[in-house]
Homo-oligomer: A and B are copies of this chain.
Amino acid sequence: MPTTPTPRLSGLSAFPLTPLHDDVLDRAALAGLVTRLVTAGVDSLTVLGSTGSYAYLSREERAEVARTAVEHAGDVPVLVGIGALRTRDVRALAEDAQDAGAAGVLLAPLTYQQHTEDDVFGLYRDVTADLDVPLVVYDNPGTTRFTFTDELYRRIGALPRVASLKIPPLPADPAAAAGRVAQLRALLPEHVSIGISGDAAAATGLAAGCDLWYSVIAGTLPEPALALTRAVRAGDADGARAQSERLRPLWDLFARHGSLRVTAAVAEHLRLARRSCLPLPIRGLDEAARAEVADVVDRLAPHPAP
């Protein structure tokens, strides 16, 4: 059942956690996070990204996450991560996501063995062959250990349903960043949007011409991420950089502990998730790091008890 064409992805796509409690999906906490993001006004949600722990969850849990997000997202489009090691499983997850009402899907090339360019092209070709919604190509070499070449971007960008490319951080130098975005645009069809990821690189990426920000922090603290995105949209690159600088204590914590553990600690501190919300064997931060996270969050935006 082909769906109607989706508008070009743009603005801010927020990646919520998939909160667990006692190692079981905490559906109520997930619904709360989704409602918080929709209320704040993000442009789209992406559930089951790396921040949503997709790689650790069962097919049944992932279908439940997709359904819960769509149910609480109202008119906000929900993208759903469908990554898995095996092509067969990715295709099944794509079906589940579409059945749940996903506006699009997100696919990273997971690896255990080192995969070749032909393996990865074959994966995207096989998955898009029977897909009815737009697909975001998720380039995250830090977690997947797979590095896309420009030639592979070009080949995959030409596949049907491919709608967006989620790229890792650009060079910090603004001219170099803009040059790289221009280079990517030349490789991709006009309808394929380019989204920056790596939150510390968002202001640079948006100023360099990326269409959107695939944002970890927006999944838990949407307001500062929206402020940054809106500054860029208003042509205020200096304002966007200032917003990003304000968030630097968070970026520093991300660099030290990984964005997932820090984001989970933020959500637990704000009582958006219950303690130990990550899937084992991943343990939360220790008490000292939690205290640092709480301090940074409270200084960013004093918050009332929920």
Q: What residues make up the interface of A, taking CB atoms closer than 8 Å to B?
A: 23, 50, 55-58, 85-89, 109-110, 112-116, 118-120, 122-123, 126, 143, 145, 258, 260, 279-283
Partner of A280, one of B23, B58, B86: B86
Measured CB to CB, the closest approach of chain B to A158, in angstroms, equals 18
Partner of A50, one of B112, B122, B280: B112
Which residue in chain B gives the minimum CB-CB distance to A59? B58
Which B residues are CB-close (under 8 A) to A89?
Answer: 58
Give the secondary structure class of A's interface.
Answer: loop
Which B residues are CB-close (under 8 A) to A145?
Answer: 145
Q: Given A55-B85, A56-B85, A85-B55 in contact, is the A113-B283 Cβ separation under 8 Å?
A: no
> Do B143 and A112 touch across chains, with their CB atoms under 8 A apart?
yes
> Do A86 and B279 touch across chains, with their CB atoms under 8 A apart?
yes
Partner of A281, one of B55, B86, B282: B86
The 4 closest A-B pairs by CB, nearest first: A55-B112, A123-B281, A87-B280, A119-B281
> Do B120 and A88 touch across chains, with their CB atoms under 8 A apart?
no
Which residue in chain B gives the minimum CB-CB distance to A116? B283
Measured CB to CB, the closest approach of chain B to A249, in angstroms, equals 21
> Do B55 and A258 touch across chains, with their CB atoms under 8 A apart?
no
> Do B56 and A282 touch across chains, with their CB atoms under 8 A apart?
no
> Do A281 and B112 touch across chains, with their CB atoms under 8 A apart?
no
> Do B280 and A114 touch across chains, with their CB atoms under 8 A apart?
no
Which residue in chain B gives the minimum CB-CB distance to A24? B88
Which B residues are CB-close (under 8 A) to A283?
Answer: 116, 118-119, 122
Q: With the chains together, A261 CA to B23 CA distance in Å?
A: 36
> Do A281 and B50 touch across chains, with their CB atoms under 8 A apart?
no
Q: With the chains together, A83 CA to B241 CA distance in Å?
A: 43
Which residue in chain B gives the minimum CB-CB distance to A279? B86
> Do A143 and B113 touch across chains, with their CB atoms under 8 A apart?
yes
Q: Given A122-B280, A283-B122 in contact, is the A114-B258 Cβ separation under 8 Å?
A: yes
Measured CB to CB, the closest approach of chain B to A283, in angstroms, equals 5
Q: With the chains together, A88 CA to B278 CA distance in Å?
A: 12
Which B residues are CB-close (under 8 A) to A87?
Answer: 23, 279-281
Measured CB to CB, the closest approach of chain B to A83, in angstroms, equals 9
Measured CB to CB, the closest approach of chain B to A73, in angstroms, equals 25
> Do A280 and B88 touch across chains, with their CB atoms under 8 A apart?
yes
> Do B56 and A281 touch across chains, with their CB atoms under 8 A apart?
no
Can you list 29 contacts pairing A with B, beta carbon distance less than 8 Å?
Answer: A23-B88, A50-B113, A55-B85, A55-B112, A56-B85, A56-B86, A57-B86, A58-B89, A86-B279, A86-B281, A87-B280, A87-B281, A109-B281, A110-B112, A112-B143, A113-B143, A113-B260, A113-B282, A114-B258, A115-B281, A115-B282, A118-B283, A119-B281, A119-B282, A119-B283, A122-B280, A122-B281, A123-B280, A145-B145
Q: With the chains together, A50 CA to B280 CA distance in Å?
A: 22
Q: With the chains together, A122 CA to B280 CA distance in Å?
A: 9
Measured CB to CB, the closest approach of chain B to A41, in angstroms, equals 29
